[in-house]
Amino acid sequence: MNSTVEEKDHLNGTLELIGKKLLDLRKKKGYSSHAEFASDFGLPRIQYWRMEKGKANVTLKSLGKVLHIHGLTLEEFFMQIRKERKKETRMEPGRN
């Protein structure tokens, strides 16, 4: 496989993980709608939707702004993702 394709797949997977975590955080904050969340916190609605869907090439600045809303640092955010991935990996069938 071409390394460029592998890099793109890896990047897309990472963006999807970030988006999934942002969606979880939003729901934990009591928001069922991305539009309402974005509006309440002064975020561009479409940009935030794209972040949650893993379709935006997220900048540290935009991610940092969203994480500030949730009271998280970048380090805490990625540590949470890492812990969740480890937990999912342990729960996969055929894994010990």
Hey, where are the domains in the chain? Answer: 3-91
CA 64 – CA 44 distance, rounded (Å): 14
Average confidence (pLDDT) over 29-44? 98
pLDDT given at position 41: 98
Q: Tell me: domain 3-91, CATH 3.40.50.410, correct?
A: no
Q: Which of 11-15, 49-53, 59-63 has the lowest mean pLDDT?
A: 11-15
Angle between helices 3-28 and 60-70 (to 10 degrees): 20
Q: How confident is the model at residue 85 (pLDDT cuts 50, 70, 90)?
A: confident
